[in-house]
Structure 1
């Protein structure tokens, strides 16, 4: 069993494990609403649309988190503005902003003289370089995400399943949508500099989608998503340590593999005929 525990005795691997588990918990909370509300494309666009803000912050020597948050906020406001047009669908607005923001970010990064390194770090992060300060930021982000989720649970639930009924009940779906996007922005910006945008997106979508095939209660989906994300983090770090693969990409790949395994098991479950239970004595 030494092969299973020895990697986590190394300081930077242990910090990577804790960082990944915190990210998994944050993404479990936000990702559940992303899956239920059908916001996967928007979350992908926001995660990659942060590149201009990150690039500008890096070039100016500023805080990357603030740059990412500003860019994600601009993306969210732009999507909201374009979605109000009766001539454009929501997906069209998201797609246009996605491409525009990503292109602008690549142009800015290409002027820095370290294009390949910066872009690779943005996409894949460096989970093995997690510091104590990063863990503190992630812990604060988790606390904020948990507070938003608990405070807005009723509004988010109504918005996810029936926005018109939410308006009828006076739950202010417009405000709830804004807070949901804020929760998504919090999850992405707090996590991307540690694990990269691809891993954030993978943990946002794959674990909640895997659990939603088996559970119909939102708290159960959130808890299950956090557990799957934590398991993918631990497994990915083990594979990366022993096989020399990229840690972030391995974790994301395992998270997606968990979804496909869950989907396959659910397909088998749905195809199997239900057998009647025969009680003794009858």
Structure 2
């Protein structure tokens, strides 16, 4: 027990834990819909689409969050606009924006004297550098994400399982999709400075995907994703502390590992259930 609790006696690890928990809750709200809607590629593109704004803000000495929000907003608008085209598939549009924004970001970062440091910080974040102000920001982002998820629940549900019915019910699926993209954008922008854009994708996808293997109701998937994200954060920090590994990457690795463990467990449970049915 002392081995498990030792890291959390340090103040910056405590802040990292709370930061990771808040990020897990935000990602659970947005990531559940990403998994149910099959929007994983969009989530990845949105995460990396922030690079130009972050790079430009870093180069000019401005707030990184504002740069990230502006760039992610532009990416979201681009995805929404191209998604309305009948000549270009949604995946093609996302892929083009993904490559274009990422390339532009790398070009801007290459103008900086600290290219490697800037890009590494953007991709992997620094969960151990979370400050009290960051926790307040994450708490506000969580409240906003919860409000959007609650108010848009009915429209998101219809959009995820029957878009045609959503249109019939007057739920305006195109607007609902735009709001959902905004929710994913909020989760990514709020979380990237904690675990980085490359690793926030792990918390956005892995916990909801693991929870979806066990339960079917959306609120339960969100709850399960939040719990798995919290466990991943705590376990990742403990492993990082004792193993000397990168904290953000370790948290994301644990989250992905829990998904594969859940997938294996459901497979074994399914096989045992089949054997029990045949035996009876």
Where on the TM-score scale, by shorter chain, does this alignment land: which range?
A: over 0.9
Q: d(CA) in 2 for partners of 1:97 and 1:157?
A: 27
1:279 counterpart residue number? none
Whole-angstrom CA distance in 1 between matches of 2:141 and 2:166 = 27
Q: Which aligned pairs between 1:200-219 and structure 2 lie closer than 5 A? A: 200-219=200-219
* CA distance in structure 1 between the partners assigned to 2:275 and 2:148 by the alignment: 41
Given that 2:195 and 2:249 are in contact with CA atoms closer than 8 Å, whether structure 1 keeps it comes out as no
For the residue of structure 2 that corresponds to 1:94, the secondary structure is helix
1:198 and 1:252 in contact (8 A); partners too: no
**Structure 2: stretches of 5+ with no match in the other structure:** none
Answer whether contact 2:232 2:251 (CA < 8 A) is retained. Answer: yes
Structure 1 gaps, min length 5: 277-282
**What secondary structure does 1:275 align onto?**
helix
Q: Would you say 1:160 and 2:179 are equivalent positions? A: no
1:274 deviation in Å? 5.5
Counterpart contact for 2:57–2:64, Cα < 8 Å: yes
Matching residue of 2:55: 55
CA distance in 2, matches of 1:143, 1:80: 25
Distance 1:135 1:153 in 2: 26
TM-score, length of structure 2 as denominator length: 0.97
The total of aligned residue pairs comes to 278
1:186-213 Cα deviation digits (max 9, x unpaired): 1000110121012211000000000101
**Range that drifts further, 72-81 or 9-18:** 72-81
Task: State how far apart, in whole Å, the 2-side matches of 1:77 and 1:140 are.
Answer: 23
**Alpha-carbon offset, residue 84 of structure 1:** 2.2
**Which residue in 2 is equivalent to 1:275?**
276
What pairs up with 1:12-91 in 2 under 5 angstroms?
A: 12-91=12-91
Contact map agreement 2:229 2:255 (CA 8 A) in 1: yes
Report the RMSD for the aligned CA atoms in angstroms: 1.3
Is contact 1:56-1:108 (8 Å) kept?
yes
- Provide the TM-score with structure 1 as the length reference: 0.96
The alpha-carbon deviation at position 53 of structure 1 amounts to 0.4
Q: How does 1:76-225 map onto structure 2 within 5 Å?
A: 76-225=76-225
**Alpha-carbon distance in structure 2 between the residues aligned to 1:159 and 1:102:** 29
CA–CA separation in structure 2 for the residues paired with 1:65 and 1:162 = 35
Partner of residue 265, structure 1: 265
**Which range is displaced more, 65-74 or 201-210?**
65-74
Partner of 1:85, secondary structure, is coil
Match of 2:250 in 1: 250
Alpha-carbon distance in 1 for matches of 2:66, 2:243: 36
Whether 2:235 is the aligned partner of 1:235: answer yes
